[in-house]
Amino acid sequence: MDSKKFTTIDEYHALAPKAVRDIMDDMRATIKQAAPKATEVISYNMPAFKQNGVLVYYAAAKEHIGFYPTSAPIVVFKEELAKYKTSKGAIQFPLDKPLPKTLIKKIVKYRIAEDEAKALAKKKK
């Protein structure tokens, strides 16, 4: 999926195998529920959701869906993320396990609060 330049999330999802597309559709719907005011964009050639700044990204990989909420939520939700492979700014949700929708929503809501605080701080300057 890396060689093509995507312009929409629909385009990105369309190139994935059906089973992966279903999981990504689920991810997209879960993020939309948690962030109804967010705009869908493609950033770094990945699906992303943006309010003032980008809240979260996700991408399909061979064996997982990569979820990129920036680094702070990975520290804040460390215990709940213990069973997933994580790195500084990424979480891997295996394709053969159900998406942890409640956890994804919590992380997205945390990112909305971070995003709003950052936007507010910018306005005050």
Domain boundaries, the chain: 9-116
pLDDT tens digits, 3-30: 789 999 999 999 999 999 999 999 999 9
Judged on CB neighbours under 10 Å (0-12, 13-18, 19+), 109 is: middle
CA distance 111 to 35: 9
Architecture of domain 9-116: Alpha-Beta Complex (3.90)
The ranges of the chain with pLDDT < 70 are: 1-2
- For the chain, report the end-to-end CA distance as a whole number of angstroms: 41
- Residue linked to tokens 């997933």: 84
pTM above 0.85? Answer: yes
**Three-class secondary structure assignment of 36-88:** CCCEEEEECCEEEEECCCEEEEEEECCCEEEEECCHHHHHHCCCCCCCCEEEC
Q: Which amino acid is residue 58, in one-letter code?
A: Y
